[in-house]
Amino acid sequence: MFLAFVFLVISIASNIMSGSTDVARTPLTAAISDADTTITVASTTGFPDVGVIVIEDERIAYSSISTTQFKGSISQPMLRGTQSTEAAVHSIGAKVSTVTGYLLNTAAEYHLAVLSDSAGLQAFIAKPTSFFRLLGSYAFMPMAFLGTDLQILTLIWAVFGIGMTVALVVSLAGGRRV
């Protein structure tokens, strides 16, 4: 169990640090109406060249990106309100996420996308803080979305999380060798 946990954490961290993750988030730098076909953001780093983004509850399909914009092309225009969502107005600062990041953030409350949300000097503080919060969310996985009958799984997982943490501390401290 501990090795699976370590593998998961290392995989996520390495993908985020290399920029090849499909869990990315950035803020809007210009408000958009429900008919706009260009979306201006702080950075498109970490987003695929073609795909679907989520702003609040709206999904938007795009076919090209620049360093700060999601756009459509002549042959494939931007499609607002795709995948059974409605096109909406969004204000400056609204978070733009990949579909995977949006689903993880809303369903399981992992807040993984926070790891790729900051840049520059702010990243010096934000990335380690977000990484440790991410590790804590694996140890004490919030399972409230399962309903009241299955919330006992949160406690069971917490016991495993504490066990993994203790095992990690003991192994790093040079505990008993087998």
Q: Where are the domains of the chain?
A: 2-139
For residue 165, is pLDDT > 90? no
Q: What is the mean pLDDT of the chain?
A: 75
Which pLDDT does position 33 carry in this prediction? 94
The per-residue pLDDT for range 85-95, each reduced to its tens digit, is 999 999 999 99
Global pTM reads 0.55
The per-residue pLDDT for range 18-31, each reduced to its tens digit, is 554 567 789 999 99
- DSSP of the chain, one letter per residue? -HHHHHHHHHHHHHHHHHT--S--EEEBSS-B-TT--EEEBS--TTS-SSEEEEETTEEEEESEE-SSEEE--SSS--EET-SS-----B-TT-EEEEHHHHHIIIII---GGGGGS--THHHHHHHHHHHHHHHHHHHT---GGG-GGGTHHHHHHHHHHHHHHHHHHHHHTT----
Q: Which residues pair with 138 in a beta bridge?
A: none
Handedness of CA 113, 119, 123, 126 (dihedral sign): negative
